Structure 1
Amino acid sequence: MVRAKVVSHPFSYKVKKQANPVNLESWAKQQLTNPGQHDQVMFIQGGPGRGKSVFCRMFADWVRQHLHPIWTPILIRLRDIHAFEENIENTLSASVQADFAKKDGWLTDPNTRFLFLLDGFDELRMQGRTTGGIEDFLKKVGYYQENCQRNPQLGHRFLVTGRELALQGIVTPRNLERVQIALMDKTLQQQWFSNWGNLVGQDKATGFKKFLQAQHCPERVKELAQEPLLLYLLAAMHRDGKLTDQMFEGTSSINAKILIYQTALDWVLTKQRPEDLNFELTEQQTDDLRRILTEAGLCVTQAGGEWASMTMIEERLKGDDGARELLEKAQKRIGENPLRNALAAFYLRPASGSVVKEGAVEFVHKSFGEFLCALRLKESLEEWTEPRKKGRGFTINHDQLAEEIYDLLGYGRLTPEIVDYLMALLDTSDDFRPVELFERLEDFYLCWCNGEFIDILDETTLPQKTGQKLRKHGVELGQRQVDIAAGLNTMILLLELNRYAEKKNELKDKIDFHPCGKPDTEGFDRQRLLRMISYSNSVEFDNFLITIRRFLRQADLSGANLSWAYLSGADLSGADVSWAYLSWANLSGADLSGADLRSADLSWADLSGADLRSAHLPSADLSGADLRSAGLREANLSGADLREANLRSADLHEANLENIFWDEDTKWANVRGLETAINVPEALKNYLTSS
């Protein structure tokens, strides 16, 4: 049994903060069989490893067994859709690889109703996965669902799954019924323990249960055990004697998760090898096998996060003598290419949705692939700062570094999950040299901003070389897209290093990243970031926002010119935006909580629905700004200019309004919390009382 919590109801834009859990299977059955809810799109969201895809498969099979032919389930993995038609019916026809879907009228047969289970909303293989494109697809599903309710010849239903982060910054259809898969509670865990006992024996299952319930078991482990995938890995580790309570003492959540994945990786490398590699391996050969898996993780990520071609993995391994020798040794045993068989045992399987003819693989659990990708990136980031044995400098020179950055980062986007794993892995590494890494990446970033890697006329550019290499393996990226990806992913690493240094007293003065350069210095260019935003958006309208918005928290943007910038939904919490120019910028729904906006120019900016709790806004220019439904609780607005601003339904609980500027065009309708606000001008009190 899986439990979920209702996040939001159809035709309501309010997200429920607290909700009682429901049985997910019962909820889905009730949604499907209740005619009054047939205009609603069922949306199941949840984090990685929560069981979304497994539920889709199980529920589709239950419908097939118990409700067919009343309902005919069709399971579609959205990652397998390679072309999206303007008409949703044509997209469905192309996705259902069966003869009946090729006939005209298959969707209008009054005697047949389909339940379309669209699994993996966050893995849509749209061109660039733009917010607008994804939003448009979801709107089409919502509109078609309403048509199915109105048209008796249709009557079909849609169930969509995906990670909740995929919905950030998206206006969802009004008829979306969203539930979120809840963490496993004790009742569900007890059922799981019972099933685990049937597999490994009740004694071992009981022993694992007692381990989790013991007082000395770290709370972090108990929390992670509420996630299905991690519960299984913990159970397997305990079964093999690899799990102790001392392992997790003093670890953070991400570090505990990494420890579990690393132990699981060691487990499959030493205990769960396929027959093709079932010979005595030296420690060096085990490391070679680990390298094969990390390269597979990188390739899958570079190819879009779903699958990667075998030839892509093989090509990346050509330069690794150890990995090549290991595979050659296995080849002598089985007489064929061993890579495909070797990968099959390590949480990978053939990719059914791939268009690559020579074969492709995908990770059974996407989160495990992201962890392996982070391991691969860690290796390179450490090598980039390895000092030369003789003389000054590094073993990898400036030109080699640029080539490797494009090779590793010149694709798509680094995900928050990969970045979290990467920074935690680096933090515990003896070979992590943060200052040197920061300086080298910043140098690359500045060269990239100046167009030095793409504006080369007398030779093939690095973006072009990388794009050509990726295209051979089914990854269609032009050299502009590669160049933009390399630059933005490097910016993400710089932002993360800057955040990392803020927590280390010995690094604060040595690592200080300003995307526009430090104000009042020769290298300061207030227009730089705005130019990079425009350049990044030249391939996709909101490319910069999609790539960077989750990494801007605590960023130093002081003095930057971001007028007219599109930053809707960006995470700028704790950022320094003092003295910045943000007039006419779109910051709707952005998280600016705790941000420093002193003397910032926010005139006519769209801040509707923005979170400005505890933000510092003294002397900020908010004239004409749209602050409808903005959260300004405990914000410091002393001396701010609010003339012609729209504060309808804004939250001003305990906000400081000392010496604010306002006029008769400032809109205060339905403003909340003014009675608890501090230093409210008497003239404003009298005006609101009389109006």
Structure 2
Amino acid sequence: MTHEPGISIKKPDKFWNKSLKIEDPRNLFSSVGKAALNGLLGNLDSAAENLVEASAELGIAKTPGEIAWLLIYNSLTTAMVALVKSNQDLQIKIDNNELEVNELKIICDYHLDRFLKDNELRINQNFFTNPKDLPIIEIIKVPLRQWLEEFGEDKAAAQSISDRLPTYFVYALREEWNKDSQKYACLTEQPDTPFIKASEQENAWRRYSAWLQRQVEEPMFFEAFGLKQIYVPLYAYYNCEVEENQQDDKFEDRLHENKQYQRVVVDLESQLETWLNQADPHDAIRVISGGPGSGKSSFTKIFAAKQAEKEKVRVLFIPLHQFNPTDDLVDAIGKFIQSDIDNILPSNPLSKENAEPRLLIIFDGLDELAMQGKAVQEVAQQFVREIEKKVDRFNSNKTRLQALITGRELIVQANSNEFRKPEQILHVLPYFVSKDDKGKHNYKDERKLLNEDKRQQWWKKYSLLKGQKYSSLPKELEKNNLIEITSQPLLNYLVALSFIRKKVDFSQESNLNIIYADLLKSVYERVWENKRQHPAVKGLKEQDFIRVLEEIALSSWHGDGRTTTVRDIENHCNRSGLKKWLMEFQKKAEEGVTRLLLAFYFRQSGSNNQGDKTFEFTHKSFGEYLTATRIVREIKLIHKKLKAQQNDPDEGWDEKEALTRWANLCGASPMDEYLFNFVLDEIRLQSIQNPSDIANWQQTLCELISFMLRHGMPMERLNPRPDFHQANQQARNAEEALLVVLNACARVTENISQIEWDSPEAFGNWISRLQGQRVDGIVFCLNHLSFLNLKDCILLFREFYWANLEGVILEGANLYRANLYGANLEGVILEGANLLGATLEGVILYGANLSGANLSGANLSGANLSGANLSGANLSGAILSGAIFYRATLEEVKNYESANFKGANLTETVLEGKVKT
């Protein structure tokens, strides 16, 4: 009889020998089982130690087969404990008196023992390459699922948990070998050993690869399933310049250089695998761009795990919110690896002594880079250039290093000049692209990928994992007003959570903030099946719970946008008068806050330079939503306090006190478009309850801005008082926040904001201070100027590049040689304004009133003036080629004969009393 090569696994002969110093040898298994079961109630930290002690008592194994049995047994048991520990928030319905101490014995010993009686189990050359293929793993999944069901998990959750066992086993196996390699040394010393002695560096990469596999199997939020189980592959597109003879007249598809592009649709994973395999040394950087919740980080985790498992290329995954960029990338990566407290990461693969022949580094979250005293955009630009420099250096002879970078759209756009190679920027597409979006953009989709609605695939997976009845997207959610939300991976998942709770009416217009509010409420209401309230919220009212979470989010925003520390949380709560509520979470400060953070939308992420534990939001948008509700809460309070003092000078706040509060709230970090959108949606929600409130807030903010422009921000009142540079930057941030929050109110009310300008040049001076020097792309504050009254303002040579000036009153304003390229001037009043020599190329002037405006020498190439009123305007020497004047009024315009109307669309316009068609 011939045997397959390898080592035959055998249970140690003396395992049941009563000469061991154990009163009952069966108690050894029982103690292991009890350790795991107790772990379900929060004692899993000691469970690992119990297993180590058990392993030490099993030192009777002598032969390679017995040693191999111990390796598999210890790894399998450790994996199951870790798996249960990862799901300890699933509220498994177990009480202490219900614990049966023999359960893990049945799983770990009985089934392994029974299998060996009927089968020969051998570990061979492929064992460490593909440990998942060990037959016993699939067999034990069944009793593990049954065990979970017995202790209260529903069938779907129990199945999801047990399905994740193989990946957990692989990681446990690597860790067990690394932890006690001497004990297992005989497996590599036999003359006919199936193992190859791997170098220490090789083993380190295998451990790290196993860790990457486990990351995508970790449970999502409070679910029994992991990312890998719910993940749906993504599509993307890259911009491809259209040849001149293929161009159409769609202005929407023009970039700033007036070129036209097609959006070439691709399968994201296939596209990147092709790039990785081609290994072109001159094309070694790829960028994934996407909005919050678009799935870019989930994709890179899945991609990293898959590529690491293939072992063709070494893969290093770096979350940039945990990364400290320096002038030298090699040094920065070395420090990142040294900061790994679990010693999972291999040695620095960019150093000379550990150089790898092929390496892919995935930098996730370009927008989350942070450095003291520097703006994110500046840090990101320096970081990208350093990557480019190092990639060129490492690839001077052959391709050794490739880099994949992810980032939100705005930060990628700001760095687009660095990424000019074909197909270099891949824009993540949503699960579903509507007909309207297809019509708006010029997609090239040869494989008809956009015909697929991936929401259906996601909901089918989700329903199976949750034991629900839906085989596709529920009809209640298949509505036009929900497409934008359900098409984004994260938001679609959040919608699913609220939909199953049945607390949000999706038949009405659903605001994203409603869904976030419902999720927070569901977190607060989470209780054990026997109605035991979570200890972190016991005795705390819901509004106080939300208030503390807002302060945690504010602490994070004032930091790097995602992470914070227990100390910073305590400081913020103390300053905001929330110490009493924070104390409700804790008996000992740090333990209590830690419990709170780990129980909800946070995870621990190491320590900072001072040794404080750091925590991060599981997704940045949770922090942005909570920060937005905190800002809106402050607006409401400021309005209330200012009105109180107007009624009684001994009550409330004066303007300086209100501005001091605002500087403390919004000065530390600048706002961005993502945070603004949450603020806007929160104000919209408030307007549903009481529309007059928003109009009152708008007027209060106008008055506060007028006071601020006359007296400045009271930065001297801050405690601790910042130095001059910090005070200047914080004042600028706070002032910009006043402007954009005012704009949010105005967008809801559509009322004109009546700010009292101290002088005709006051607004021009202020907006120049806020916008600074434009480097590239759209300046944030310029997108929030709509509905302002700028009548008679002096705006000579001012920069309004791609600004949103919708509904602005510019009557009599002096815009001599101002740059209004691409600006939105829809509904603007420019009656009597001076636009002599102004750049208005590509502007939207739909319905604008330009009667009597001086447009002498102005450039309006490609402008959309449909429905605009230009009666009496001076068009002397104006450039109007390609402009759209559909149904515009051009009666009695002056000097139009010298204007350039080449290619202009004058359909149904009125010119000199006649309709032009």
TM bucket normalised to smaller: 0.7 to 0.9
Deviates more, 1:309-318 or 1:31-40: 31-40
Q: Which amino acid aligns with 2:404?
A: L
Matched, 1:578 2:832: no
Instruction: Say if 2:792 and 2:812, in contact at 8 Å, map to a contact too.
Output: yes
Q: 1:396 aligns with which of 652, 661, 686?
A: 652
Instruction: Say if 2:290 and 2:428, in contact at 8 Å, map to a contact too.
Output: yes
Instruction: Say if 1:464 and 1:479, in contact at 8 Å, map to a contact too.
Output: no
Q: Which amino acid aligns with 2:319?
A: R
Q: 1:437 aligns with which of 689, 692, 697?
A: 697
CA distance, structure 1, for counterparts of residue 870 and residue 311 of structure 2: 60
Instruction: Say if 1:10 and 1:176, in contact at 8 Å, map to a contact too.
Output: no
Instruction: Say if 1:80 and 1:125, in contact at 8 Å, map to a contact too.
Output: no
CA distance, structure 2, for counterparts of residue 675 and residue 335 of structure 1: 71
**Paired residue for 1:120?**
365
**Paired residue for 2:716?**
461
Q: Which amino acid aligns with 2:474?
A: Q
Query: How far off its partner does 1:618 sit?
Result: 3.5
Partner SS, residue 301 of structure 1: helix
- 1:550-573, CA deviations, whole angstroms, 9 ceiling, x for partnerless residues? 212333323222222222222223
| Residues 421-436 of structure 1: pairs in structure 2 closer than 5 A | 421-429=681-689, 433-436=693-696
CA distance, structure 2, for counterparts of residue 261 and residue 673 of structure 1: 47
Q: Which amino acid aligns with 1:258?
A: N
**Paired residue for 2:744?**
496
Q: Once the two structures are aligned, what percentage of the paired residues are identical?
A: 23
Query: How far off its partner does 1:64 sit?
Result: 1.9
Q: 2:294 aligns with which of 20, 42, 50?
A: 50
CA distance, structure 2, for counterparts of residue 653 and residue 50 of structure 1: 38
| Residues 340-489 of structure 1: pairs in structure 2 closer than 5 A | 340-351=594-605, 355=609, 357-386=611-640, 392=648, 395-398=651-654, 399-414=656-671, 415-429=675-689, 433-454=693-714, 461-463=716-718, 465=720, 467=722, 478-489=726-737
| Residues 655-674 of structure 1: pairs in structure 2 closer than 5 A | 659-661=893-895, 671-674=902-905
The verdict on how the C-alpha distance between 1:223 and 1:542 changes in structure 2, with shifts beyond 3 A counting, is closer
The verdict on how the C-alpha distance between 1:216 and 1:568 changes in structure 2, with shifts beyond 3 A counting, is closer
The verdict on how the C-alpha distance between 1:270 and 1:630 changes in structure 2, with shifts beyond 3 A counting, is same
**Paired residue for 2:553?**
297
Query: How far off its partner does 1:4 sit?
Result: 2.7
Q: Which amino acid aligns with 1:514?
A: Q
Deviates more, 1:298-307 or 1:274-283: 274-283
Query: How many residues are paired up?
Result: 633
Q: Which amino acid aligns with 2:836?
A: S
- 1:637-670, CA deviations, whole angstroms, 9 ceiling, x for partnerless residues? 4544444555566556666555353687x667xx
Instruction: Say if 1:591 and 1:610, in contact at 8 Å, map to a contact too.
Output: yes
Instruction: Say if 2:284 and 2:401, in contact at 8 Å, map to a contact too.
Output: no
Structure number, greater radius of gyration: 2
Instruction: Say if 1:76 and 1:118, in contact at 8 Å, map to a contact too.
Output: yes
CA distance, structure 2, for counterparts of residue 282 and residue 183 of structure 1: 40
| Residues 258-337 of structure 1: pairs in structure 2 closer than 5 A | 258-271=513-526, 278-279=534-535, 284-318=540-574, 324-325=579-580, 327-328=582-583, 330-332=585-587, 337=591
**Paired residue for 1:68?**
312
Matched, 1:250 2:484: no
Q: 2:491 aligns with which of 208, 227, 230?
A: 230
**Paired residue for 1:8?**
239
Query: How far off its partner does 1:60 sit?
Result: 1.9
CA distance, structure 2, for counterparts of residue 123 and residue 265 of structure 1: 24
CA distance, structure 2, for counterparts of residue 477 and residue 307 of structure 1: 24
The verdict on how the C-alpha distance between 1:677 and 1:542 changes in structure 2, with shifts beyond 3 A counting, is farther
- 1:212-236, CA deviations, whole angstroms, 9 ceiling, x for partnerless residues? 5336976545653332223323333
Instruction: Say if 1:633 and 1:652, in contact at 8 Å, map to a contact too.
Output: yes
Instruction: Say if 1:593 and 1:615, in contact at 8 Å, map to a contact too.
Output: yes
CA distance, structure 1, for counterparts of residue 332 and residue 366 of structure 2: 15
Query: How far off its partner does 1:264 sit?
Result: 0.9
Query: How far off its partner does 1:614 sit?
Result: 4.8
- 1:99-156, CA deviations, whole angstroms, 9 ceiling, x for partnerless residues? 53663698xx7x73443433223334365537677567657767887x5899444564
The verdict on how the C-alpha distance between 1:90 and 1:174 changes in structure 2, with shifts beyond 3 A counting, is farther
CA distance, structure 1, for counterparts of residue 743 and residue 455 of structure 2: 39
CA distance, structure 1, for counterparts of residue 416 and residue 515 of structure 2: 37
The verdict on how the C-alpha distance between 1:621 and 1:28 changes in structure 2, with shifts beyond 3 A counting, is farther
CA distance, structure 2, for counterparts of residue 625 and residue 157 of structure 1: 48
Partner SS, residue 266 of structure 2: strand
- 1:171-192, CA deviations, whole angstroms, 9 ceiling, x for partnerless residues? 6343263333233247533432
CA RMSD of aligned residues (A): 4.4
Instruction: Say if 2:850 and 2:869, in contact at 8 Å, map to a contact too.
Output: yes
Query: How far off its partner does 1:527 sit?
Result: 0.8
CA distance, structure 2, for counterparts of residue 96 and residue 627 of structure 1: 55
CA distance, structure 1, for counterparts of residue 283 and residue 476 of structure 2: 49
Matched, 1:189 2:423: no
CA distance, structure 1, for counterparts of residue 661 and residue 315 of structure 2: 46
The verdict on how the C-alpha distance between 1:311 and 1:24 changes in structure 2, with shifts beyond 3 A counting, is same
Instruction: Give structure 2 stretches of 5+ with no counterpart.
Output: 1-231, 244-252, 339-345, 433-451
- 1:403-462, CA deviations, whole angstroms, 9 ceiling, x for partnerless residues? 3212212232333223223313422456983454344433331222123444xxxxx812
More helix by share: 2
The verdict on how the C-alpha distance between 1:383 and 1:96 changes in structure 2, with shifts beyond 3 A counting, is same
CA distance, structure 2, for counterparts of residue 452 and residue 428 of structure 1: 34
Q: Which amino acid aligns with 1:29?
A: E
Q: 1:530 aligns with which of 745, 764, 767?
A: 764
Deviates more, 1:527-536 or 1:269-278: 269-278
Query: How far off its partner does 1:616 sit?
Result: 3.8
The verdict on how the C-alpha distance between 1:217 and 1:317 changes in structure 2, with shifts beyond 3 A counting, is same
- 1:507-560, CA deviations, whole angstroms, 9 ceiling, x for partnerless residues? x5xxx4234x3xxxxx6622111121343357x767997341221233332322
Partner SS, residue 318 of structure 1: helix
By relative contact order (CA 8 Å, sep 6+), the higher-ranking structure is 1
- 1:75-102, CA deviations, whole angstroms, 9 ceiling, x for partnerless residues? 33344454464x8788777777675366
Query: How far off its partner does 1:165 sit?
Result: 3.5
Instruction: Say if 1:2 and 1:181, in contact at 8 Å, map to a contact too.
Output: no
Instruction: Say if 1:620 and 1:640, in contact at 8 Å, map to a contact too.
Output: yes
The verdict on how the C-alpha distance between 1:271 and 1:500 changes in structure 2, with shifts beyond 3 A counting, is same
Provide the TM-score with structure 2 as the length reference.
Answer: 0.60
CA distance, structure 1, for counterparts of residue 662 and residue 883 of structure 2: 45
Q: Which amino acid aligns with 2:550?
A: T
Partner SS, residue 317 of structure 1: helix
CA distance, structure 1, for counterparts of residue 698 and residue 650 of structure 2: 14
Instruction: Say if 1:406 and 1:462, in contact at 8 Å, map to a contact too.
Output: no
Instruction: Say if 1:615 and 1:634, in contact at 8 Å, map to a contact too.
Output: yes
Deviates more, 1:279-288 or 1:584-593: 279-288
Provide the TM-score with structure 1 as the length reference.
Answer: 0.77
Instruction: Say if 1:3 and 1:21, in contact at 8 Å, map to a contact too.
Output: no
Partner SS, residue 433 of structure 1: helix
Instruction: Say if 1:142 and 1:176, in contact at 8 Å, map to a contact too.
Output: no
Q: Which amino acid aligns with 1:184?
A: Y
